[in-house]
Amino acid sequence: MHMSRQPTGTPNIPRCRLSGAAGAHSLLLLGLLLSGLLLSGTQARSADTGWRDPEFARIPFDKWPSESKSQIHWTVTIRPADLSTHQRLILRVTLRVDGKDVYKRRGNRELLALIQYRDAAGNVWQNHKSIDLANLRPAVQSQYLDTTFYAFVLPGDYTVKAAVCDSSTLEHSVTVRKVHVDPLKTDPLAGSWTGLPNVDLVPPTVDPPEVWFLPDVTTRLNLHVPTKKPVHIHVLLNTTPSQRAAGSVTAMRANMSLLIPALKIFSAVDLPNGSLDAELLDLTHRRVTFEQKNVHELDWPSIQKFFAGNRPGIIDAATLQGQWKMRKFFWDEVSRKLEPGTDGAVPVVIVLSGPAFMEDQEPVEPSNSQGEAQRRLFYIRYRAQQQPGRGNGRANIFGGTMMGRGSARMQPMMPPPDPDYIPPMPVDDLEHTVEPLNARLFDAASTQQFRRVLAAILEQISRM
């Protein structure tokens, strides 16, 4: 439905979001609306044969014809599915309701946003969000209420039925769209989605660190890696931003929005002749903040505790004095993991890091190499790629780019960035550190590039 006022503001992230002229009231009103956001915990998991949301039994959703007259002013946008940081195709459906219509419905009632996905076999997945309309302020009339539903999907054809409904009057608007999800043109990890449901509902996780890990999404990629020799893989994740951005929460979160999904993916690797350990490294304080041996499923609550207590920029005097030893600490951790164990397994170290530029570091003296055949070291620098001509973007945990607030002036259309192009960046300090250890160095600036890196590393491990 055509809206009379041009929408402005920030495109959506996984939460309800307001946009419009009354910017001074946006945060307050956003908090109010988010307080009414509901999703049953059991709804987060999708079964192979679908999921029926109990909320749909309260309303005649199936009886609402698609050609019925819209009773609530809204628009619906379905973006083409693309590759997320979790290496799954993600489908975004955004429902935008006119603030004037929302405000006139204020009172002891709810605005229901509903969505239903139907695959070609007739299986149905349903989800809803509920927004309390009890305490709306007049500022909402000059804004829009955006609600985005997220779902991981497999390539195929789907029917998406979306609706908004006044819980008191049952006034509603509904639309039905046909959606085709294309497979990846060239997939280096063909078969990694085998066994996954056609639709996997993504809960409305709002804040980090949960939004990085998506703990309620428990389905796993099919990454089977057989090896001739026994292998022992150590995945080391650097949680420390570049020293020039060490006090920045934004820099840390930008890195983790890419690296935590990558850690979750590696933890799902099936090693019939091996094992996998995981660690988080805090280079600033020169400590291992999380360690899990023989990972079958990551201990997310323990990882979460670290990020809950991590405060970038808050450094005591003793830590500050020892910052020149960060590179040496990293060297010691990597070297120790490359030492062969008593079980005869080939040590494999995979380092996940954002760009790491440090200053005034203690020089590291390379030790004698024990031979490339006896170990493997992979360094993955995974970083967000800013899209040219589109302002100051930041990495979206679900893939793509989220644009910051700024001028409402229309920007010229730009061609999509080439996924094979990596903007040049100087070799960072951690790369310099691992080069003497015969490290394989990888640079990824998009989810597509990381998929190729992941495939290359797993293929090299499988040849052991």
Q: Both 262 and 146 in a single domain? A: no
Q: Is residue 10 part of a domain?
A: no
Nearest CA among 311, 366, 305 for reference residue 334: 366
- Assess whether pLDDT exceeds 90 at residue 245: no
Question: What are the DSSP calls for 188-252, one per residue?
Answer: TTTTTTTT--SEEEEP---STTHHHH-TT-------B---SS-EEEEEEEE-PPPGGGTT-HHHH
| DSSP letter (8 states) at residue 297 | S
Q: Is residue 76 part of a domain?
A: yes
Q: How many CB atoms lie within 10 A of CB 400?
A: 19
Q: Both 138 and 271 in a single domain? A: no
Q: Is residue 222 part of a domain?
A: no
Q: Both 163 and 256 in a single domain? A: no
pLDDT digits (tens, 9 = 90+) for 313-335: 444 444 444 454 778 888 899 99
Residue 225's contacts (CB-CB under 8 Å, 6 or more residues apart) are 269, 270, 271, 274, 458, 461, 462
Q: Both 266 and 325 in a single domain? A: yes
For strands 124-132 and 50-51, give the pairing.
parallel
Backbone φ and ψ of 158, nearest 5°: -135, 155
Nearest CA among 348, 338, 337 for reference residue 369: 338
Q: Is residue 1 part of a domain?
A: no
Length of the chain equals 464
Q: Both 138 and 239 in a single domain? A: no
Residue 348's contacts (CB-CB under 8 Å, 6 or more residues apart) are 231, 232, 233, 234, 375, 376, 377, 378, 461, 464
- Range in 130-139, 219-228, 290-299, 308-317 the model is least confident about: 308-317
Please give the Cα distance from 390 to 412 (Å, whole number). 9
Instruction: Please report, for the domain that includes residue 125, its CATH number.
Output: 2.60.40.2550
Domain coverage including residue 122: 17-205
Residue written as token pair 């292998």: 231
Q: Both 65 and 192 in a single domain? A: yes
- Assess whether pLDDT exceeds 90 at residue 445: yes
User: pLDDT at position 180, please?
Assistant: 98
Question: What are the DSSP calls for 77-121, one per residue?
Answer: EEEEEEE-TTSSEEEEEEEEEEHHHHHTT-SS-EEEEEEEEEETT
Q: Both 424 and 381 in a single domain? A: yes
- Assess whether pLDDT exceeds 70 at residue 247: no
Query: Between the ranges 9-13, 341-345, 377-381, where is the mean pLDDT highest?
Result: 377-381
**With bands split at pLDDT 50, 70 and 90, how would you rate the model's confidence at 375?**
confident
Radius of gyration for the chain, computed over Cα atoms and rounded to the nearest angstrom? 24
* Mean pLDDT, rounded, for 369-375: 60
Q: Is residue 25 part of a domain?
A: yes
Q: Is residue 5 part of a domain?
A: no
Residue with more model confidence, 258 or 36 = 258
Percent of the chain at pLDDT above 90? 56
Contact 156, 63 (CB under 8 A): no
**With bands split at pLDDT 50, 70 and 90, how would you rate the model's confidence at 343?**
confident
Q: What is the pTM of this model?
A: 0.80
* Mean pLDDT, rounded, for 163-183: 95
Q: Both 198 and 304 in a single domain? A: no
| Alpha carbon separation from 136 to 10, 23, 66, 108, 169 (Å, rounded) | 21, 15, 30, 11, 18
Q: Both 294 and 437 in a single domain? A: yes
- Assess whether pLDDT exceeds 80 at residue 261: yes
Residue with more model confidence, 148 or 42 = 148
| Alpha carbon separation from 289 to 124, 280, 285, 303, 379 (Å, rounded) | 42, 6, 10, 8, 20
Residue written as token pair 């099919």: 222
Residue written as token pair 């927004």: 131
Contact 236, 307 (CB under 8 A): no
Q: How many CB atoms lie within 10 A of CB 2?
A: 5
Q: Both 235 and 201 in a single domain? A: no
Which of 161, 190, 205 is the endpoint of a domain? 205
User: pLDDT at position 203, please?
Assistant: 86
Q: Is residue 218 part of a domain?
A: no
How many domains does the chain contain in total? 2
- Range in 11-15, 122-126, 206-210 the model is least confident about: 11-15
Contact 378, 338 (CB under 8 A): no
Instruction: Please report, for the domain that includes residue 259, its CATH number.
Output: 3.40.50
* Mean pLDDT, rounded, for 346-353: 96
Q: Both 277 and 347 in a single domain? A: yes
- Assess whether pLDDT exceeds 60 at residue 344: yes
Q: Both 178 and 235 in a single domain? A: no
Classify 69 as helix, strand or coil.
Answer: coil
Residue with more model confidence, 322 or 107 = 107
Nearest CA among 134, 115, 125 for reference residue 47: 125
Burial class of residue 74 (count of CB atoms within 10 Å of its CB; 0-12, 13-18, 19+): buried
Q: Is residue 223 part of a domain?
A: no
Q: What sign does the CA torsion over 158, 415, 443, 373 have?
A: positive
Which of 205, 220, 243 is the endpoint of a domain? 205
